[in-house]
Amino acid sequence: MKPYQKRNLSKSYFILIFVVYITTLIVINEGHVNRINNYVKMKGLQFHQSIADITNSYENFSDFIFHSDINVNKVLGLMDQASKASESERVIIREELYSELFRVYTTAQNYDFNQLHFHLPSGESFLRFHKVSEFGDSLIGIRPSIKKIIEQKRINRGFEGGRFLSGYRFLYPLINNGQYVGSVELVISAKTIIKELYKSMDGLDVALIIKEDIIEVLREDDIDEIHEYSLLSDEYLIEKENLNAVQNNGKSLKLIKDESFNEVLKNKIKDHFITEQSFNISLKFERKDYVVHFHSIKDFESNHVGYLYLISETNSIVSFGSERNQLVLIASAIMMLMISLFYLILKKEEEISKYAMIDSLTGIYNRGTFIDFAQRFFARQTRDNLPISVAMIDVDYFKEVNDIHGHRVGDKILVEIVREISDSIRDSDILARYGGDEFVMLLPDTNIDVASIVLERVRSHIEHTPFLKVNSITISVGVHERLENETLEEVIQMADDALYEAKQNGRNIVIESKPSK
């Protein structure tokens, strides 16, 4: 074993630093994800509020039209007559009602109301201002809102499909002298909502998709003329009028019909679609970030019938990513600083430990360190029943070297001797300075015969090595193989006795200790 083996840096401490670092990265990433989620949620709330503001403003305007121009005696009287009249009489009443409210309908159209539609108490269509030639058809089976207003006779608002238009409908009961005489509705289309959203926002695309099975009930013949399948799902249709409004708007991102974009979006939302609830997502497409809000459209019975969805380009997510990367760099720099500081501290401690363990002159272990090592090896020998030998080495006539050449030369010769001995022994052997010119060696897993061979090689090597200002240096060696239960003190004494015998027998020899009695 070399005089000093650098200890491994504390693995546990570095593992702790690494765990803290990884935990920090996880926290940073979770914070980044949460920040994006919160941002997307906030944008979704903004979109939701924008939709609510638009529908509420039209609702208020619709209420104003109803109460100021429709819910008046003249109109109520005409509807009362119509509810009791024959078909021929209804033709005249229809013309009179149309003439009475044409100005109101024209004004409503200017504010993007698409329909003004009167219904008889039976649920039959009486007058469609947007299509006056179509009347007399029963709406009970296809329009739940009509059935509901007949039953409840109170104002209802909500989204519903229709034979000629799907949109937000504001339905009002018509009561004349306490008698229900029919109902009326004002309607705004999805196109109107889309147009208003484009007015209030930039970098946007808006689309309304409706469940296919709902549209099929309303329109059997002209469904393909008015709708096409959404690129997001073959269960939803989108009005061609909606698509034209998006494609022709100067603020549009032109993504509603982009097949590549829709493929990315489709994969992102497929699990959400199953829930039929409102949701928000973010996605990256062609190195740009987008937030998409899907607003679940409910009918008059609170059933999901479709989605109004808004696609908005955003730069905020990129900035969130930059901030996350900065935090990662800071965390990495702190980790490297901690490692560097700990490494320097540990190195300093190792240096201090090293000087406490080794002999300052020769650089090999001192007596105290040797004793520590020997006791450990003795315990292992006792446990595993392995041989172990200890040798005492003394430089012959070293006092004369000091007397003739001085202690400085003597010290240099000791250093050279240690170097030569270290080069001649095995890596497993432990060499230490015992004091002055005397050294001690521990030979683990080595019986007396092998130990004598190793030490003879060392002795011979020293004898034939020239040293500073001295033609020849020799050493005397005493070696002892530890017997069961012998203490370290006893083993060293036995090796020292053999060393004494070597000196008595002319020096420059290796003497094995005699078995203790």
CA distances (Å), origin 494, targets 250, 430, 497: 104, 18, 5
407-424 helix and 448-463 helix, angle to the nearest 10 degrees: 130
Tokens of 257: 């019909």
Strand order in the sheet with 288-298: 227-229, 236-239, 204-211, 304-314, 288-298, 279-285
Using CA atoms, how far apart are residues 353 and 304, in angstroms rounded to an integer? 76
For 89: left if phi > 0, alpha if psi spans -120 to 50, otherwise beta; the answer is: alpha
Using CA atoms, how far apart are residues 431 and 319, in angstroms rounded to an integer? 63
CA distances (Å), origin 430, targets 19, 314, 476: 38, 70, 18
Place of tokens 């209804």: 90
| Secondary structure string (H, E, C) spanning 156-168 | EEEEECCCCCCEE
Active-site residue, selected from the candidate residues 205, 299, 396, 437: 437
| DSSP letter, residue 175 | E
Whether 94 contacts 125, CB under 8 Å: no
Residue 403 bears catalytic tag: no
Q: Which residues of 15-39 are buried (b: 16+ CB within 10 A; e: fewer)?
A: eebeeebeebbeebeeebeebbeeb
Tokens of 427: 């890596």
CA distances (Å), origin 161, targets 90, 158, 168, 171: 27, 10, 9, 14
For 52: left if phi > 0, alpha if psi spans -120 to 50, otherwise beta; the answer is: alpha
End-to-end CA distance of the chain: 32
Using CA atoms, how far apart are residues 312 and 271, in angstroms rounded to an integer? 21
For 115: left if phi > 0, alpha if psi spans -120 to 50, otherwise beta; the answer is: beta
Task: Cite the active site residues.
Answer: 437
